[in-house]
Amino acid sequence: MTVLLLRWRELALDAGWAAAHIEARAGTDLRAPLGDAVIDLTRQTSRRFRNEERAQRLQRIATSFLRATGATVTRGAVAFDVQPEPGVADSGSLETDLTELLVELGEAARDEGTGAVILIDELQDAGVEALVGLAGGYPFFIQTHAKFAWDVAVESPIALADVSVAEPRAGEQLEQSFFGPRYERATPAERRYLHALAALGDGPVSTAEAAAVLRRRASDVSVQRDGLIAKGLVYAPDRGLIEFTVPHMAAYLRGRTDHPPMDP
């Protein structure tokens, strides 16, 4: 695939297009290589455009993109010595801002009778990284998200957009087949303890804090804590601490509105 993308870049440049090639490496932020590509493309097009005002607007939009998304430029020094363009590519959302930037770049290139392209190599790794992130690294959750991403994908390799489209379906399936049944195994008193933990956040919390949410002492709710440990819903990562055994359990509990009141 890399050889093919590089060949496409050659063909684009030979046709007079602006072209940039980057790699999406697993475990790294895509913003840095995108920052390089954006500056590279904008500089290429700015030098070629007959419409100087349009070229300057592209430079301002590129500056907006870099500042809003936190994209850094790893090659060269200062990007553009211009102020950002308000209201375009400045929301802070990488997907939204990149789309707006590419639309502006494409329309400007079209008006000049040419084109512009970013070729992203190894993008499937960013599809995998996003999926693992959604699953919290938990193997069964990865399997579930991967299954639904496979179902919605129309071609191979599975794209980042496929993972995003599949996320609600995978989440609904996990609520029905994983989180829900485990929650139902808990007694009403144990459920109150679970909700107390969820109210304190996603990470490990002290047993004293959990008891305080319930307006009890830690010793008063030790039976509920031990029962939940025995059922595999929580565990003690260290003395005096308690944590959910699986990721996203706290978020699931915070989303439920049918839980018993904290005070029995």
CA torsion sign for 70, 72, 77, 80 is negative
Contact in structure between 71 and 29 (CB atoms under 8 Å): no
Tokens 């932020």 sit on residue: 29
Contact in structure between 158 and 164 (CB atoms under 8 Å): no
Tokens 């929650």 sit on residue: 183
Could you tell me the mean pLDDT of each successive run of 10 residues in the chain, 264 residues long?
A: 72 80 63 73 73 79 78 60 78 76 78 77 58 66 79 74 80 87 90 92 88 90 91 88 88 81 58
AA letter at 97:
D
Contact in structure between 130 and 160 (CB atoms under 8 Å): yes
Q: What's the token pair of residue 20?
A: 């940039």
DSSP assignment of 73-97 equals: --SSS---SS---TTSS-SS-HHHH
Cis peptide before 157 (omega within 30 of 0): yes
Output the pTM of the full model: 0.49
Q: Provide the Cα torsion 85, 91, 93, 97; round to 10°.
A: -30
Closest CA to 193 of 168, 161, 216: 216
The pLDDT score that the predictor gives to residue 75 is 57
Instruction: Please tell me the distance from the alpha carbon of residue 38 to that of residue 75, in angstroms, as a whole number.
Output: 12
Beta carbons within 8 Å of 144's beta carbon, 6+ residues apart: 135, 170, 173, 174, 178
Instruction: Please tell me the distance from the alpha carbon of residue 50 to that of residue 254, in angstroms, as a whole number.
Output: 56
Burial (CB count <10 Å: 0-12, 13-18, 19+), residue 199:
middle
User: Tell me, which fold does domain 185-255 have in CATH?
Assistant: Arc Repressor Mutant, subunit A (1.10.10)
Closest CA to 200 of 190, 216, 211: 211
Q: How, if at all, do strands 18-23 and 116-121 pair?
A: parallel
Phi, psi at 242, each rounded to 5°: -140, 145
Q: How many CA atoms lie within 13 A of 204 on its CB side?
A: 9
Q: What's the token pair of residue 231?
A: 């059922």
Query: What are the residue boundaries of the structural domains of the chain, listed by start?
Result: 2-121, 134-180, 185-255
Phi, psi at 197, each rounded to 5°: -60, -45
AA letter at 27:
G
The pLDDT score that the predictor gives to residue 248 is 87
